[in-house]
Amino acid sequence: MNERQRRSDIGTAKAVARGVNIESVRNRALAQKYMEYRRVPPDVIARVLDKPSLRRAPSTDQLVSEAITPSSPPRTKDTGED
């Protein structure tokens, strides 16, 4: 089977794209755990994480990132009242 198959499973494609995003802002282990949770086939996970040069370019939809980045707690409005 060709390593660059046609994308027919949109759900898997989105899970892989998000997994790659997780890898870029967090780490490989978390990305792998996420993709396993989303039931991405193990051979796909291995290929995506082990061979970044074979990754497809992200689609237009995937370029609008839901970057998962560490965030601080929301600021609370200080009213000056105690």
How does the average pLDDT of the chain come out, rounded?
Answer: 77
Q: Does residue 61 surpass a pLDDT of 80?
A: no
pLDDT at 2: 47
pLDDT for 5 equals 52
End-to-end CA distance of the chain: 68
Dist CA 39 CA 69 (whole Å): 23
Instruction: Give CA–CA dist 30/33, Å, rounded.
Output: 5
Amino acid code (one letter) for 2: N
pLDDT tens-digit profile of 11-49?
Answer: 888 899 899 989 988 999 999 999 999 999 999 999 999
